[in-house]
């Protein structure tokens, strides 16, 4: 909820990564509550979430040779496609 909006006409944009945004104009009247509804749809870019765990934890994770973090790693909004992933932990065989 957003409060203390001045009366008058306002442009409202609703956006979420991976979705088409929605823009609408709403009129706010003094002393009244105005409800805005928006419908957004996936942009079709094919994003998802990738989760990498290891046992034991603490392994380095690389996506396309760029360090992504230390397990457990959760990458939100990963574009769909093929990636080279490498998991490394000292004393263990590297996994690609």
pLDDT in tens, the chain (96 residues): 788 889 999 999 998 877 888 999 999 999 999 999 998 887 766 777 888 999 899 999 999 999 999 999 988 878 777 889 999 999 999 998
Cα distances (angstroms) measured from residue 90 to each of 13, 29, 54: 48, 64, 13
The two structure tokens encoding residue 50? 């990738």
The C-alpha atoms of residue 61 and residue 54 are separated, in whole angstroms, by 10
The residue ranges of DSSP E strands in the chain, in sequence order, are 8-14, 22-28, 47-52, 60-63, 66-70, 73-79, 85-88
Whole-structure pTM value:
0.53
CA dihedral for 52, 66, 48, 21, sign (positive or negative): positive
Give the pLDDT score at 70.
Answer: 94
3-state SS, one letter per residue, for 46-62: CEEEEEECCCCCCCEEE
């Amino acid at each position: 909820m957003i409060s203390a909006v001045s009366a008058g006409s306002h442009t409202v944009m609703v956006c979420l990564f991976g979705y088409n945004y929605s823009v609408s104009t709403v009129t706010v009247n003094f002393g009244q509550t105005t409800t805005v509804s928006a419908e957004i749809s996936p942009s079709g870019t094919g994003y998802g979430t990738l989760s990498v765990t290891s046992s034991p934890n603490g392994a380095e994770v690389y996506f396309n040779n760029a360090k992504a973090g230390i397990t457990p790693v959760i990458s939100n909004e990963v574009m769909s496609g093929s990636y080279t992933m490498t998991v490394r932990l000292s004393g263990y065989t590297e996994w690609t």
